[in-house]
Copies of this chain bind each other. A is one copy, B any other.
């Protein structure tokens, strides 16, 4: 088999952990596999480099930041190859440029446009383990780029596609994807498999296992991957295209995002175009809006509520303030309040009705007040008091029978 393994910064944080990674890679190769390893920078290295850059210039040039940051992974690939050699394993390191991870020129957040693979297959055929620097690529004119947050996962999935790998393993510090955060829900259980769409909803809903872009890339190119721990040999969670049997499970998992702020606009002018003006202004300010509710107007006055990430709340208020004269009726006011967004996710919802009713009933029985609701084809999200978030997750988790058998 051809296996791609990705190890993050914590897994290669020091020389002992690099040896540990090398041992795992050796075991995989000794079992008769061709192995491509993707590694991140050692934990803390990238941050130190960026801090140096920022102490030289308030806003360092993004091209130079990529030139700088990319050395973190280059350090790890060489050290990992050397560790493998010391165990008698033939191995060779490759930068992103050397395996032809071609990107656009959006430095610090480049997008992969193509992967040539360089001499990857040749090296694998010669029995060598190839250690590739994650997180980095190269433009058509030879400039070094980085892929932004979660970039090494993306490198691994893209390389799995390029070498037509049988297995792509994303090693991390958790055992896989859980039905809920095990720190919140004691009987949360690890999922054996999950569909791309479910994983995408969980990623965007505050379950921090992987960035959505890597999952999107995997879905687009149909790369099956596994999220698993580098600290043990437990099987992890397989992420793949949905199969019919997945629909038997109505709710796959429950996630909570506690960094949401509810923005309430009272006393709006109830005329066509008011909503458009509001969301145009928010869009221009790069505010990510979610969970919109507009109340039916009375006497020409309407109210509107939506949520934004708490980091964007101030920007949102400023944007609203800038168009106040255009949208305000009598007694216009803006109110903000921190909320938590609790979501249940499952592709089974497409073919099962009554999920929302079951969820709302469970919350009502537990005395949890629902402030806002938004739904998609495979997800129901509700905004609740931040203080009630953990309880709401536990209630939802129990309501859909997600606990360990």
- Which residues of chain A have a CB within 8 Å of any CB of chain B? 15, 18-19, 49, 52-53, 55-58, 60-61, 63-65, 67-68, 70-71, 74-75, 77-79, 81-83, 85-86, 92-93, 95, 97-98, 118-119, 141-142, 144
Beyond A57-B85, A61-B85, A64-B93, 5 additional contacts (C-beta under 8 Å) are A70-B74, A71-B74, A71-B75, A74-B74, A95-B144
Q: CA of A52 to CA of B12 in the docked complex: distance in angstroms? A: 13
Q: CA of A276 to CA of B220 in the docked complex: distance in angstroms? A: 72
Q: Say yes or no: B98 contacts A79, CB within 8 Å.
A: no
Q: Say yes or no: B53 contacts A82, CB within 8 Å.
A: yes
Q: Say yes or no: A79 contacts B53, CB within 8 Å.
A: yes
Q: CA of A238 to CA of B52 in the docked complex: distance in angstroms? A: 36
Contact A64 B81, CB 8 Å, known A74-B71, A75-B71: yes
- 14 chain-A/chain-B pairs, Cβ below 8 angstroms: A15-B56, A18-B56, A53-B78, A53-B79, A57-B83, A57-B86, A60-B82, A60-B85, A61-B81, A65-B82, A68-B75, A68-B78, A74-B74, A98-B142
Cβ of A96 to closest chain B Cβ, rounded Å:
12
Q: Say yes or no: B78 contacts A67, CB within 8 Å.
A: yes
Cβ of A338 to closest chain B Cβ, rounded Å:
37
Q: Say yes or no: B142 contacts A56, CB within 8 Å.
A: no
Q: Cβ of A93: which chain B residues have Cβ within 8 Å of it?
A: 64, 67
Q: Say yes or no: A85 contacts B64, CB within 8 Å.
A: yes
Q: Cβ of A92: which chain B residues have Cβ within 8 Å of it?
A: 63-64
Q: Cβ of A142: which chain B residues have Cβ within 8 Å of it?
A: 97-98, 118
- Of residues A74, A79, A97, which shows the largest number of chain B Cβ atoms within 10 Å of its Cβ? A79
Q: Cβ of A79: which chain B residues have Cβ within 8 Å of it?
A: 52-53, 56, 68
Q: Say yes or no: B98 contacts A56, CB within 8 Å.
A: no
Q: Say yes or no: B56 contacts A19, CB within 8 Å.
A: yes
Copies of this chain, complex-wide, total 2
Contact partner of A67 among B61, B68, B74, B86, CB < 8 A? B74
8 closest Cβ contacts across the A-B interface? A68-B78, A57-B86, A71-B71, A67-B78, A64-B78, A60-B82, A56-B83, A56-B82
Q: Cβ of A18: which chain B residues have Cβ within 8 Å of it?
A: 56
Q: Select from chain B the residue with minimum beta-carbon distance to A75.
A: B71
Cβ of A115 to closest chain B Cβ, rounded Å:
16
Q: CA of A84 to CA of B57 in the docked complex: distance in angstroms? A: 9
Contact A55 B15, CB 8 Å, known A64-B78, A67-B93, A71-B74: yes
Q: CA of A278 to CA of B65 in the docked complex: distance in angstroms? A: 57
Q: CA of A202 to CA of B165 in the docked complex: distance in angstroms? A: 58
Q: CA of A98 to CA of B70 in the docked complex: distance in angstroms? A: 15
Q: CA of A320 to CA of B357 in the docked complex: distance in angstroms? A: 95
Q: Cβ of A68: which chain B residues have Cβ within 8 Å of it?
A: 74-75, 78-79, 82
Cβ of A91 to closest chain B Cβ, rounded Å:
8
Q: CA of A86 to CA of B52 in the docked complex: distance in angstroms? A: 13
Contact partner of A15 among B52, B58, B74, B118, CB < 8 A? B52
Q: Select from chain B the residue with minimum beta-carbon distance to A49.
A: B75
Q: Select from chain B the residue with minimum beta-carbon distance to A141.
A: B119
Cβ of A326 to closest chain B Cβ, rounded Å:
40
Q: CA of A358 to CA of B52 in the docked complex: distance in angstroms? A: 58
Q: Cβ of A97: which chain B residues have Cβ within 8 Å of it?
A: 142
Q: Say yes or no: A65 contacts B78, CB within 8 Å.
A: yes
Q: CA of A78 to CA of B141 in the docked complex: distance in angstroms? A: 18
Q: Say yes or no: B63 contacts A82, CB within 8 Å.
A: no
Q: CA of A58 to CA of B82 in the docked complex: distance in angstroms? A: 10
Q: CA of A68 to CA of B71 in the docked complex: distance in angstroms? A: 9
Q: Select from chain B the residue with minimum beta-carbon distance to A65.
A: B78
Q: CA of A86 to CA of B141 in the docked complex: distance in angstroms? A: 26
Q: Say yes or no: B98 contacts A82, CB within 8 Å.
A: no
Q: Cβ of A78: which chain B residues have Cβ within 8 Å of it?
A: 53, 64-65, 67-68
